Amino acid sequence: MLDLKDAIRTIPDYPKPGIMFRDITTLLGNARAFRRTVDELVQPYAGLKVDKIAGIEARGFILGGAVAHQLSAGFVPIRKKGKLPHAVVSIAYSLEYGIDEMEMHEDAVQKGERVILVDDLIATGGTATAAVKLLQRIGAEVVAAVFVIDLPDLGGADKLRALGVPVRTLIGFEGH
């Protein structure tokens, strides 16, 4: 059986010294690995009522689009500030090097719709936590957050669980 971990390239010292960058472009380029990844992300939610999949820019768009297709759900892009053409709701969040902002269209999710958040990786959880709060602010019920990779030592998945959001990850890299 294909080990998804083997399909991910690790690039040391990128984008700065001491960081082990987990590059999923190799997984996406491997048809079997990509298909298995999407299948495993979708499997627990098949047959459940899911209205929308929200994907975080940019790798969350690729994965989220495939998950949305498989679950017959709509797709909602969550983007960096200034990238969406219609009226938006936004949230500022902290990064290790400052503050950033993300946005989504204000009409992308209706109150009470059941949404799954998708991205490639959960590390410190800053971006994912902000995305969950943004979705909840406009009335979404965030039923889960799913990621291909978890860096558990950084605690991001635990932050989402503390918000009451179940988290599913496929691969963990200890010591990130």
Q: Would strands 20-23 and 74-80 be described as parallel, antiparallel, or unpaired?
A: unpaired
The per-residue pLDDT for 94 is: 84
> Percent helix, strand and coil across the chain, each rounded to 5?
35, 35, 30
The per-residue pLDDT for 174 is: 87
What is the average pLDDT score of the chain? 95
Whether residue 176 is predicted with pLDDT greater than 80 in this model: the reply is no
Rounded Cα gap, residues 95 and 100, in angstroms: 7
35 is catalytic: no
Rounded Cα gap, residues 160 and 150, in angstroms: 12
The per-residue pLDDT for 1 is: 61
Q: Considering 22, 59, 79, 113, which one is annotated as catalytic? A: 59
Between the alpha carbon of residue 112 and those of residues 47, 136, 160, the distances in Å are 18, 9, 19
- The fraction of the chain above a pLDDT of 70, given in percent, is 98
pLDDT tens by residue, 57-105: 999 999 999 999 999 999 999 999 999 999 999 999 987 667 899 999 9
Q: Considering 9, 35, 36, 96, which one is annotated as catalytic? A: 96
User: Mean pLDDT across the stretch 144-168?
Assistant: 97
Helical residues (DSSP H) of the chain, grouped into ranges = 25-29, 31-42, 59-71, 126-137, 156-162
- Region of residue 168 (phi > 0: left; psi between -120 and 50: alpha; otherwise: beta): beta
Which class for 149: exposed (0-12), middle (13-18), buried (19 or more C-beta within 10 A)?
buried
The per-residue pLDDT for 103 is: 97
Provide the token pair at 96. 């290790």
Residues in the chain: 176
What stretches of 48-140 adopt beta strand conformation (E)?
52-56, 74-80, 88-95, 98-105, 114-122
Rounded Cα gap, residues 148 and 143, in angstroms: 17
The per-residue pLDDT for 69 is: 98
59 is catalytic: yes
Nearest CA to 41 out of 176, 172, 171, 175 is that of: 171
The per-residue pLDDT for 40 is: 97
The per-residue pLDDT for 135 is: 98
* Domains, the chain, ordered by start: 48-172 (3.40.50.2020)
